Amino acid sequence: MPAPLLELQDLHTHFATHRGPLRAVDGVGLTIQQGETVALVGESGCGKSVTALSIMRLVPRPGRIVRGHVRLDGEDLLAASPARMRDIRGRRVGMVFQDPLSTLNPTFSVGRQIAESLRVHGVARGSAARKRSVELLEAMGLPDARERLRAYPHELSGGMRQRVVTAIAISCRPDLLIADEPTTALDVTLQAQIMDLFARIKVERGLAILLITHDLGIVSQFADRAAVMYAGQIVEQAPCADLLGRPLHPYTQGLLRCVPRLSRLEFDIAPIEGTVPDMVALPPGCRFAPRCPHAEERCRAEAPALLEAGADRLVRCHLYDGSPTPP
């Protein structure tokens, strides 16, 4: 196995609150190979977006990366200077944020914002930047690309804005693209178009993609591997076909039971009972134990380790450490 393009090792990101630290990311480890799409999956508030912001060193205050490593081609980004990180953002790692309307500057035209990325990283200036901007928008499938350069973000539809922020993110040909919920608030047709766009640029440009989503349908179609997060930790990690075909962790099983299937005669959706734990006052044992139908006393008292459960499979559950019988 070649060295990974991106490696997260024991990453911890906390937010200071009046009640104590909120451990949004609590010991996350993850690798992404060149040209691979890895999905980070879980409910809202589980730490997916904070993980992405930690990679980019953009965690807002009062958040703070407490410890760990984020290595890009072996370089530890957490030890990089602010100037080095400004060069890496956009040049080596591009990011599509969750809300394109708030990401784009409402007072600047689309063309100016794309050209700014090209100028800052020394890719192109002046007429060359304008020509490159048109090419990027055409590659994103935007009609009348030359005219769109004059438009302002509020003049574009949601799907168009998503294509613009994607164009900015890949403008300097990064090695890694982080896409944070790229289909949120889009209708089903636009979702399919945006994800097809990501799949195409991945092949054309050899991109590695970290896809952050709660949509398991998107994961099944576009990701190579998936990591499931719960309460700041990865609880299961596997190739997508294995994870979706035979989920091991009770939380992953619960997520899949929430997905409606056309093959069923009835929509027998079974929601996961209970609520996500208080991230400031986490339970002493397994964080999923209060909601888990298989929980035993050990689960409530002792936190499980992330265990190997087969080829390229990891699971954080006492059911797989040789004690009880797995479900």
Domain borders along the chain are: 6-92+174-320, 100-173
Q: Which residues of the chain have pLDDT under 70?
A: 260-269, 322-327
Write out pLDDT tens, residues 93-150: 999 988 888 889 999 999 999 999 999 888 889 999 999 999 999 988 888 999 999 9
Position 322 scores a pLDDT of: 66
Tokens representing 128 are 């060359």
Cβ–Cβ < 8 Å for 223, 199 = no
Cβ–Cβ < 8 Å for 32, 40 = no
Q: CA-CA distance, 91 to 116, in Å (whole number)? A: 13
Cβ–Cβ < 8 Å for 98, 184 = yes
**Residue from 36, 157, 48 nearest 97 by CA:** 48
DSSP β-bridge partners for residue 11: 28
For residue 69, the one-letter residue type is H
DSSP β-bridge partners for residue 179: 96, 211
Q: Give me the CATH code for the 6-92+174-320 domain, please.
A: 3.40.50.300
Position 6 scores a pLDDT of: 98
Q: CA-CA distance, 64 to 54, in Å (whole number)? A: 9
Cβ–Cβ < 8 Å for 159, 193 = yes
Q: DSSP for 81-121, please give it.
A: -HHHHHHHHHHTEEEE-S-HHHHS-TTS-HHHHHHHHHHHT
Cβ–Cβ < 8 Å for 90, 117 = yes
pTM: 0.92
Q: Which residues contact 168 (CB under 8 A, 6 or more apart)?
A: 94, 113, 114, 117
Position 194 scores a pLDDT of: 85
**Per-residue buried b or exposed e for 282-310, using 16+ beta carbons within 10 Å of the residue's own CB:** bbebbbbbbbbebbeeebeeeebebbebe
Position 190 scores a pLDDT of: 82
